[in-house]
Amino acid sequence: MSGDVATTPPVAPQGETDSETDVPRTLVTRHGGQDRLFIHGSRAIAFLVLLIVGSIGVFLGAQSVPTLQTYGFGFFTEFRWLPSQDRIGIAAVVVGTIQVALIAIFFAIPLSLLTALFITDWAPAWLRPTLVRFVDMMAAVPGIVFGLWVLFVIQPHATEVAHWLSKYLGWFPLFHVRTDVDYPIWNQAPGYPSYAGSAFVASLAVTMMIFPMATSVMREVFSEAPVGEKEAALALGATRWAMVRTVVLPFGRSGIIGGGMLALGRALGETISVVLVISQAFEIKPYVLESGTSTISALIASSFKEASPSQLSALLTAGFVLFLMTLLVNSLAAIIVSRSRSGGVTEL
Amino acid sequence: MTAVAERPVVVEEQASAPTLPEPEELRRTGSSTREDVLTIIGALCASSATTWLFYFQVFPFEGLIGFVVCWYLVLVVFYAGLTALTQPRAVVMDRIVTTAVVAAPTLIAIALASVVVMTLVKGLPALAHLNFFTEDMSGVRADDPFTMGGILHAIVGTLIEVMIAIAIAMPLGVATAVFMSEVGGRGSQLVRTVVEAMTALPSIVAGLFIYTVCLVYLGMPASGLAAALALAVMALPIMARAAYVVLGVVPGGLREASYALGAGRWETVWKVVLPTARPGLATALILGTARAVGETSPVLLTSGASTFFNANPTQDPMNSLPLFIYAAVGTGNPQMEERAYAAAAVLLVVVLTLFVIARLVAGGRRKKTR
């Protein structure tokens, strides 16, 4: 009925019908009304979606024009955010965003890697589906729940660890905290104000948010490691670790890098658990254990309400910068994952 | 895992002989010997005792985290040492790595359990009162006892906002996925690239976009509809992409069979492709919904945190569960913090219920692919 395929007879080339010159048949597809409606309808919807989502990117990009007109290039080098004096810039928040994301990655990658290996190669077969399900389930836990948990449950312990690190390893700039570390911690005000709300504590919440994603990407790549090669390694007398080191890890290298970068992309944009935990400060500093930091998303969440139109477009520009960072990281990750030896598609 | 049981080969003559063949004994492969078990038990006991002695008794250390870290390190040393007595180096290395491979998921499991348990325990005082589910917070002060006030407005707000968002995002997302996967042709590459790129859009930026366009430029009031639009904008690329991945898994042979039987494009999609992909599609969409339910940042910018019940999404602020939690923690009041925990428990239950539904819908199909 519909979708009839009409074939036109081959056009004879200039009367001379030589059997050697083969002319491909031209296929003409005539769609019925129903199909035409479907094809054009779905194309129309897809272009509508393209218009909607594309307009967001264009709109965000367009907002950087008035921002640059108002604040100039200093917008990218100014670290303070003082709406009252109209001195605003995103240098500090960009650095803070990267700091929080990198620390979270630093925690999440080893944990994800080991968990993924446990699921694919160590856990007994009957346990594997359950573990996979748990990791997927963890991905569905809202960020605000992890934020609450870190704020009230983890922070008291994390500040003690931070205090210990700064006391004994404070000579290392990353662990330095600009306070008197010998001052007994129980004597400080509740919540250890010098150590609470730091990039380190915030990154713990982000770690919990990105762990499931990184784990499931790595697990999927690892589980596609060729069984024959694994069995060959075992048959040659390799221990399980030797088998993993020589077969699974080289095979899954792109999965590890790609999964890590996808997680990084997610970590950059993570908002609410960070906002809940950090005490906001606009400062460029390497002291990640010290109280006070800020990220682009936290900046947007905390200052959109009081923003004047020009500051609002500055916030949108900051959002655009964040989007570009995430986009860059995600695209790189997608390229790396798709280049993996398996060529397998990784579902996100 | 790749254990293949070796069976002794039964020779023909033996089987035909009148004497019963010796009962086959399967060699157990891959299981641990008594020595392995005793080694790990010994290492566990030794490290617990040593660490306890030195950590608490000899040196004036304290703190649980320090103890666990020291205990783990000492355990690795003991385990490696005990193994090295009888085994070659390769096995020692294997055992050291095994401790790390077991420790990481254990740590995450403890953390996850702690999240769930703490949320439930801290929320219990408020959850225990039925009015928590049947009243709103209008006129309730932060210090009022748990017998007053509740989160009905937030629950209803979440339901309404997410339902509107899904009603927008799901059909558009699935239609786009069908276009990308089944129709193709002009522009499909462009649509795919842009949709993939927009999955990178951070949710807070989606919220800020709707805030700027709808609330500031178009003068819409802060309302449930604005929040739903923000959620829809956030969820649309995610759902389109997830649905596209699922549709890509449908075997091409089914489509060809359908065409060969004379079906058209629409009939093939409607009667073959979509029904085949239904479980996967449902899973992808429900997981997208779960994500939208728990997302706070778009809602924070667009809906306004109200304390009163409001079922009209076009007018007046409308609260939702994540936003209620955020606002309640922001008050710094201990009573409100417990209400926040209770709301977090409700949110967790909603999300996990959606997750379980997704798993049930996916059903046996998932098993086949694994």
Measured between beta carbons, which residues in chain B are less than 8 angstroms from residue A161?
Answer: 65
Q: Does A229 touch chain B (CB under 8 A)?
A: no
DSSP 3-state of A280: strand
- The answer to whether position B146 is within a domain reads no
DSSP 3-state of A88: strand
Residue B282: what residue type? Answer: A
Q: Does A57 touch chain B (CB under 8 A)?
A: yes
Distance from CA of A311 to the nearest CA of B (A): 11
State the average pLDDT over residues B85-94: 88
State the average pLDDT over residues A140-150: 90
Q: Do B365 and B249 meet the contact criterion of CB atoms below 8 Å apart?
A: no
User: Does one domain contain both A164 and A290?
Assistant: yes
Percent of chain B with pLDDT over 70: 90
- The answer to whether position B184 is within a domain reads yes
- The answer to whether position A347 is within a domain reads no
Q: Which of A31, A144, A316 sits opposite B322 (nearest CB)?
A: A144
Find which of A5, A133, A149 to mutate to test the B interface (most B CBs within 10 Å of its CB). Answer: A149
- The answer to whether position B198 is within a domain reads yes
CATH number at residue B344: 1.10.3720.10
Nearest CA in chain B to A158: B65
Q: Do B154 and B343 meet the contact criterion of CB atoms below 8 Å apart?
A: yes
What is the DSSP-derived secondary structure letter of residue A188? S
CATH number at residue A251: 1.10.3720.10
Q: Do A118 and B183 touch (CB under 8 A)?
A: no
Find which of B107, B108, B231 to mutate to test the A interface (most A CBs within 10 Å of its CB). Answer: B108
Res. A253: pLDDT tops 90: no
State the average pLDDT over residues B6-24: 57
Q: What is the pLDDT of residue B260?
A: 92
- The answer to whether position B80 is within a domain reads yes
Q: Do A50 and B191 touch (CB under 8 A)?
A: yes
Query: Residue B117: which pLDDT band, with cuts at 50, 70 and 90?
Result: very high
Query: Residue B165: which pLDDT band, with cuts at 50, 70 and 90?
Result: very high
- Residue A166 belongs to domain spanning: 73-338
What is the DSSP-derived secondary structure letter of residue A7? E
Measured between beta carbons, which residues in chain B are less than 8 angstroms from residue A157?
Answer: 63-65
Q: Do B246 and B180 meet the contact criterion of CB atoms below 8 Å apart?
A: no
User: Does one domain contain both A131 and A38?
Assistant: no
Percent of chain A with pLDDT over 70: 88
- The answer to whether position A334 is within a domain reads yes
Quote the mean pLDDT of chain A: 82
Q: What is the pLDDT of residue A258?
A: 85
According to the 3-state scheme, what is the secondary structure of A104-167?
HHHHHHHHHHHHHHHHHHHCCCCCHHHHHHHHHHHHCCCHHHHHHHHHHHHHHHHHHHHHHHHH
Q: What is the pLDDT of residue A109?
A: 93
DSSP string for A298-345? HHHHHHSTT--HHHHHHHHHHHHHHHHHHHHHHHHHHHHHHTSTT---
The domain tally of chain B equals: 2
Q: What is the pLDDT of residue A110?
A: 94
**Of B126, B143, B170, the domain-final residue:** B126
Q: Of A3-7, A84-88, A252-256, B243-247, which range is least confident?
A: A3-7
Q: What is the pLDDT of residue B31?
A: 66
> For chain A, how big is the Rg over CA atoms in Å?
28
Q: Do B175 and A50 touch (CB under 8 A)?
A: no
The helix or strand, by DSSP H or E, that contains position B313, with its residue range, turns out to be none
- Contact residues, A window 166-205, toward B, CB-based 8 Å cutoff: none
Query: Residue B15: which pLDDT band, with cuts at 50, 70 and 90?
Result: very low
**Chain A / chain B CB contacts < 8 angstroms:** 291
Query: Residue A182: which pLDDT band, with cuts at 50, 70 and 90?
Result: low
Measured between beta carbons, which residues in chain B are less than 8 angstroms from residue A45?
Answer: 172, 175-176, 179
User: Does one domain contain both A211 and A272?
Assistant: yes
Q: What is the pLDDT of residue A2?
A: 42
- β-pairing, A27-30 vs A4-7, is antiparallel
- The answer to whether position B145 is within a domain reads no
DSSP string for A28-50? EEE--HHHHHHHHHHHHHHHHHH
Q: Do A300 and B205 touch (CB under 8 A)?
A: yes
Q: Do A207 and A138 meet the contact criterion of CB atoms below 8 Å apart?
A: no
Distance from CA of A285 to the nearest CA of B (A): 25
User: Does one domain contain both B214 and B285?
Assistant: yes
How many other CB atoms sit within 10 Å of the CB of residue B159? Answer: 15
State how far Cα B203 lies from the chain centre.
Answer: 17
The helix or strand, by DSSP H or E, that contains position A87, with its residue range, turns out to be strand A87-88
Q: Do A45 and B176 touch (CB under 8 A)?
A: yes
User: Does one domain contain both A66 and A114?
Assistant: no
- Residue B248 belongs to domain spanning: 153-369
- Cβ within 8 Å of residue B339, ≥6 positions away: B126, B132, B146, B149, B151, B328
Q: Tens digits of per-residue pLDDT, A8-26?
A: 555 545 545 556 788 888 8
Q: Do A94 and A284 meet the contact criterion of CB atoms below 8 Å apart?
A: no
**Of B126, B145, B173, the domain-final residue:** B126
Q: How far apart are CA B204 and CA B226, in angstroms?
A: 14
pTM attached to this predicted model: 0.83
- The answer to whether position A246 is within a domain reads yes
User: Does one domain contain both A83 and A43?
Assistant: no
User: Does one domain contain both B330 and B202?
Assistant: yes
Beta-bridge partner residues of A198: A291
ipTM above 0.85, yes or no: no
User: Does one domain contain both B105 and B247?
Assistant: no
Q: Do A63 and A317 meet the contact criterion of CB atoms below 8 Å apart?
A: yes
User: Does one domain contain both A190 and A307?
Assistant: yes
Q: Of A238-252, A331-345, B283-297, which range is least confident?
A: A331-345
Res. B370: pLDDT tops 60: no
- The answer to whether position A39 is within a domain reads yes
User: Does one domain contain both B355 and B272?
Assistant: yes
User: Does one domain contain both A248 and A302?
Assistant: yes
Q: What is the pLDDT of residue A345?
A: 39
Cα dist. B30→A117, A210, B5 in Å? 18, 34, 10
**Of A54, A71, A88, the domain-final residue:** A71
Quote the mean pLDDT of chain B: 83
Q: What is the pLDDT of residue A98?
A: 92
Q: How far apart are CA B230 and CA B206, in angstroms?
A: 6
Distance from CA of A107 to the nearest CA of B (A): 11
Residue position matching structure tokens 């900046």: A299
- The answer to whether position B24 is within a domain reads no
User: Does one domain contain both A119 and A200?
Assistant: yes
DSSP 3-state of A16: coil
Q: Tens digits of per-residue pLDDT, A197-228?
A: 888 999 999 999 999 989 988 888 888 888 88
Cα dihedral A137→B325→A288→A80 (10° resolution): 130
Q: Which of A152, A211, A297 sits opposite B202 (nearest CB)?
A: A297
Residue position matching structure tokens 């629409």: B266
Measured between beta carbons, which residues in chain A are less than 8 angstroms from residue B115?
Answer: 141, 145-146, 149, 208
Q: Does A125 touch chain B (CB under 8 A)?
A: yes
Q: Do A122 and A130 meet the contact criterion of CB atoms below 8 Å apart?
A: no
**Of B70, B91, B126, the domain-final residue:** B126
Q: Of A62-66, A105-109, A168-172, which range is least confident?
A: A168-172
Res. B366: pLDDT tops 50: no
Q: Does A110 touch chain B (CB under 8 A)?
A: yes
Cα dist. B147→B56, B141, B156, B179 in Å? 45, 12, 20, 53
Q: Do A345 and B119 touch (CB under 8 A)?
A: no
Res. A31: pLDDT tops 50: yes
- The answer to whether position A266 is within a domain reads yes
- The answer to whether position A13 is within a domain reads no
Res. B108: pLDDT tops 90: yes
Q: What is the pLDDT of residue B296?
A: 85
Measured between beta carbons, which residues in chain B are less than 8 angstroms from residue A163?
Answer: none
Q: What is the pLDDT of residue A348?
A: 37
Res. A312: pLDDT tops 80: yes
Q: Does B248 touch chain A (CB under 8 A)?
A: yes
Q: Tens digits of per-residue pLDDT, B181-228?
A: 888 777 888 888 888 888 888 889 989 999 888 888 888 888 888 899
Res. B8: pLDDT tops 70: no
Query: Residue B175: which pLDDT band, with cuts at 50, 70 and 90?
Result: very high
Q: Do B348 and A230 touch (CB under 8 A)?
A: no
The domain tally of chain A equals: 2
Res. A190: pLDDT tops 80: no
How many other CB atoms sit within 10 Å of the CB of residue B167? Answer: 12
Measured between beta carbons, which residues in chain B are less than 8 angstroms from residue A37?
Answer: 266
State the average pLDDT over residues B47-59: 82
Q: Do A311 and A67 meet the contact criterion of CB atoms below 8 Å apart?
A: no
Q: Which of A3, A138, A241 sits opposite B259 (nearest CB)?
A: A3
Q: Do A114 and B196 touch (CB under 8 A)?
A: no
- The answer to whether position B17 is within a domain reads no
Q: What is the pLDDT of residue A111?
A: 94
Q: Which spans in B87-223 are helix H? A: 89-127, 131-134, 152-178, 188-198, 203-210
Q: Do A59 and B367 touch (CB under 8 A)?
A: no
Q: Do A144 and B323 meet the contact criterion of CB atoms below 8 Å apart?
A: no
